[in-house]
Copies of this chain bind each other. A is one copy, B any other.
Amino acid sequence: MKFNATNVRASASAADLIFEALREAIFTGEIRAGEHLRQDALADMFNTSRIPVREALSRLEQQGLVKTERYKGTTVTSLSVDEVREIFEFRALLEGEVIRYAVENMDDETIEKARRACDAFATETDSARYGELNRDFHYALYAKAERPYHLKIVSQALDRIESYLRAQLVLTDGMERARREHMGILNACSSRDADKAVALTRAHILGASESLIQFLQTRDSAK
């Protein structure tokens, strides 16, 4: 595991940088579930003391991405299939409601913005950027819901499963289906059909869930 300082913002504290670097490393799978993270090893990697490392780990722990036990260390948490399923159910409920609010306030400018994000998603070939571009599309629409608290909770839930989504996309071809489903959601929003947008959003999420769970089960039984 290595880190460079190219993608940092100068105004952020060391703890912020370490937090984001570790978070991204967990997302990409560079740090795998179950792996041990030792504070002084991380401090050496980032050329800091353990203090900002501890703060970063504390934040990750609160988001559920790692778990720390005194005298033992910090390990990256893994989700059971049931936990993954529950989080997708949660997303379907919440994002369905959010898209309903969004359609209420929808305007042409937002539609255009979402269309561009949809195109960017469709034309991107690097599956590692799936998560980012997927969020760009959905958030372009969700922004119009004007429900900042809801959106923060959506982000939390997405973070929790991001590493699993990326692991799947390296091996499977869900992007083509996602692209089609995005188009459908966009069209429903464009025609101000709230019920349809909700139904398609829920189906989009629950379909991804089934696909991911199947992927996890075949992967785990293969071992």
Contacts and interface: CB of A to CB of B under 8 A. Distances in A.
Interface of A: 13, 51, 54-55, 58-59, 62-63, 70, 83, 86-87, 89-90, 93-94, 97, 147-150, 153, 156-157, 160
Given A90-B153, A97-B93, A153-B153, A13 B70 contact: yes
Q: How many copies does the complex hold?
A: 2
Interface residues of chain A: helix, strand, loop or mixed (majority): helix
B55 A86 contact: no
6 nearest interchain CB pairs?
Answer: A86-B149, A62-B62, A93-B97, A87-B149, A86-B147, A58-B58
Contacts of A90: 147, 149-150, 153
15 contacts: A55-B58, A59-B62, A62-B63, A83-B148, A83-B149, A86-B147, A86-B150, A87-B149, A90-B147, A90-B150, A90-B153, A93-B93, A93-B97, A149-B160, A153-B153
A153 to B, nearest CB: 6
A37 to B, nearest CB: 17
A83 B149 CA distance: 8
A51 B51 CA distance: 9
